[in-house]
């Protein structure tokens, strides 16, 4: 029996299902949660299905998390999506559930849950969710709203189909979702509209980023800067790819001071950076990862390490 068949067996077995995502959810995480909820609820209307965790302000039009008490988790199935390690799950009450399934596309950090279905080669977890549906659409159903959620997840986590992780199956999934009623113009308009405050903040990044001789570009954003523009932490962090187009700088990062920690959004268009992220308490994809600093005293060391990764890559392609 395949693992997907096992997942469907578990979904059929439980009357209450909770769907979890990671802290600070992005479009893919949110799209997975609401897309999967739509598939399960449409296919099995008698089941109670809940999305739990944090709100993603970037794509709030996909839905809002449910507020449920601890009792709902007892004897329930919890499905955790788009999260490599259990510490980053935004609602830790999955530990109260009777059975836990992990569905993800990141390089594994911890093997939490009773069942893991991880496809690292997939560019978006939403594509995995769609392929589960598509493979078993003789017994599963989805509505237009569910298709919109999954398409949004794929679109955002592939950089609108620009990243090298995109595969032929990605476009096949997108085409099939369009056939289910997805309005690509409407979604693009929603994702493209930005407030004047965010535009001004982009100007700050472009005026204050730094570059090392080895090929690493970065910008440090303190809490007072974010507050001065009146934007959310999510909007602040989403601008990491503003530094992606500089020739000779294959590695870049946005280093942001959060109220309780210092987070690094690390990106690459050449060398793998997940190993570097692992050294700083993070992880993710080979060319898109997250990390953190224990204090600002680590910043210089991180810059040197990231610069070395960029240098080695630049020397290798000469």
pLDDT tens digits, 95-118:
999 999 999 999 888 789 999 999
What is the pTM (predicted TM-score) of this model? 0.87
Half-sphere exposure of residue 313: CA atoms within 13 angstroms, side-chain side = 20
**What CA–CA distance (Å, rounded) separates 259 from 16?**
35
Q: How confident is the model at residue 3 (pLDDT cuts 50, 70, 90)?
A: very high
Nearest in space to 183 (alpha carbons), one of 224, 152, 139: 152
% residues pLDDT > 90 (the chain): 92
What confidence tens digit (pLDDT) does each residue in 137-188 have?
Answer: 999 999 999 999 999 999 999 989 988 889 999 999 999 999 999 999 999 9
Q: How far is CA 312 from CA 79, 291, 307, in A?
A: 40, 20, 9
Q: Which two tokens stand for residue 203?
A: 């100007």
Cα–Cα dist 60/10, whole Å: 29
* pLDDT at residue 108, as a whole number: 85
pLDDT exceeds cutoff 80 at 1: no
For 184-234, how does the pLDDT look when each residue is reduced to its tens digit (9 = 90+)?
999 999 998 889 999 999 999 999 999 999 999 999 999 999 999 999 998
Average pLDDT over residues 79-93: 95
Which of 1-5, 19-23, 148-152, 256-260 has the lowest average pLDDT?
1-5
């Amino acid at each position: 029996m395949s693992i997907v068949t096992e997942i469907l067996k578990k979904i059929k077995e439980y009357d209450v299902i909770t769907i979890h995502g990671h802290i600070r959810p992005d479009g893919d995480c949110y799209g997975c949660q609401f897309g999967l909820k739509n598939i399960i609820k449409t296919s099995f209307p008698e089941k109670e299905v809940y999305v739990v965790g944090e709100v993603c302000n970037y794509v709030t039009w996909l839905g809002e998390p449910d507020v449920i008490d601890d009792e709902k988790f007892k004897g329930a199935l919890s499905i955790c999506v788009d999260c490599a390690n259990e510490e980053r799950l935004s609602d830790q009450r999955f530990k109260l559930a009777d059975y836990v399934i992990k569905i993800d596309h990141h390089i594994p950090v911890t093997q939490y849950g009773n069942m893991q279905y991880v496809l690292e080669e997939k560019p978006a977890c939403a594509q995995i969710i769609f392929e589960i549906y598509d493979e078993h659409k003789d017994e599963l159903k989805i509505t237009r709203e569910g298709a919109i959620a999954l398409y949004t997840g794929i679109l955002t986590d592939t950089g609108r189909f620009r990243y090298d992780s995109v595969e032929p199956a990605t476009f096949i999934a997108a085409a099939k979702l369009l056939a289910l009623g997805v309005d690509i113009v409407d979604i693009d308009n929603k994702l493209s509209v930005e407030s004047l405050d965010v535009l001004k903040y982009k100007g700050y990044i472009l005026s204050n980023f730094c570059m090392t001789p080895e090929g690493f570009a970065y910008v440090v954003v303190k809490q007072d800067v974010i507050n001065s523009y009146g934007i959310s932490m999510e909007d602040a962090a989403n601008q990491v790819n503003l530094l992606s187009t500089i020739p000779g700088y294959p590695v870049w990062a946005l280093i942001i001071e959060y109220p309780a920690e210092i987070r690094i959004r690390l990106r690459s268009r050449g060398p793998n950076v997940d190993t570097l992220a692992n050294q700083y308490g993070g992880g993710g994809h080979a060319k898109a990862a997250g990390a953190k600093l224990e204090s600002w005293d680590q910043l210089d060391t991180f810059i040197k390490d990231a610069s070395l990764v960029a240098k080695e890559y630049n020397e290798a392609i000469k």
